[in-house]
Amino acid sequence: MQLTENRPEEQYFIHSLDPDAIQIVEDRYSRSLILSPIEGVREWAVESVDALEASHFAPILEWSPDVVLLASGRTQRFPSREIQFEMLRNNIGLEVMTLEAAARTFNVLASEDRRVVAALIWEPAAY
């Protein structure tokens, strides 16, 4: 799925998502990561929604987003209530969606100059 759109050069965006990788600007990744349109990309040591702990959100909180798009892989799976409450305590919206939906939504919100962070749990597509 190609998501190319004309973007300012100083902003990070998701160029495309295919079964083997997610392309952010010109770099390809096949692992979980967090992404901010301004701060860029950081590796994120999370392999599944079930493994999420509040401590995994510490680097996300450093960026002070208004909303976090949690991509739970290729299918939508929700984190524990503890995670959801942690985001509420920090006044941050949490939207849970698939990788494909998060990629599209991230680009739209970033183009509107919203303070968004995508927390992308990588999962290759099943063939």
Q: How confident is the model over 22-78, as pLDDT tens digits?
A: 999 999 999 999 999 999 999 999 999 999 999 999 999 999 999 999 999 999 999
Q: How confident is the model at residue 122 (pLDDT cuts 50, 70, 90)?
A: very high
What is the extent of the structural domain holding 89?
Answer: 14-120
User: For the CA atoms of the chain, what is the radius of gyration?
Assistant: 13
Average pLDDT over the chain reads 92
Helix (H, G, I), strand (E, B) or coil at 17: strand
Q: Domain holding 102: CATH number?
A: 3.40.1230.10
User: Token match 């985001």: residue?
Assistant: 87
Asked whether residue 23 is assigned to any structural domain, the reply reads: yes
Cα distance between residue 47 and residue 69, in whole Å: 16
Instruction: Give the up-direction half-sphere exposure of residue 70: CA atoms within 13 A in the CB hemisphere.
Output: 23
Asked whether residue 127 is assigned to any structural domain, the reply reads: no
Rounded to the nearest angstrom, the gap between the alpha carbon of residue 122 and the centroid of all alpha carbons in its chain is 10
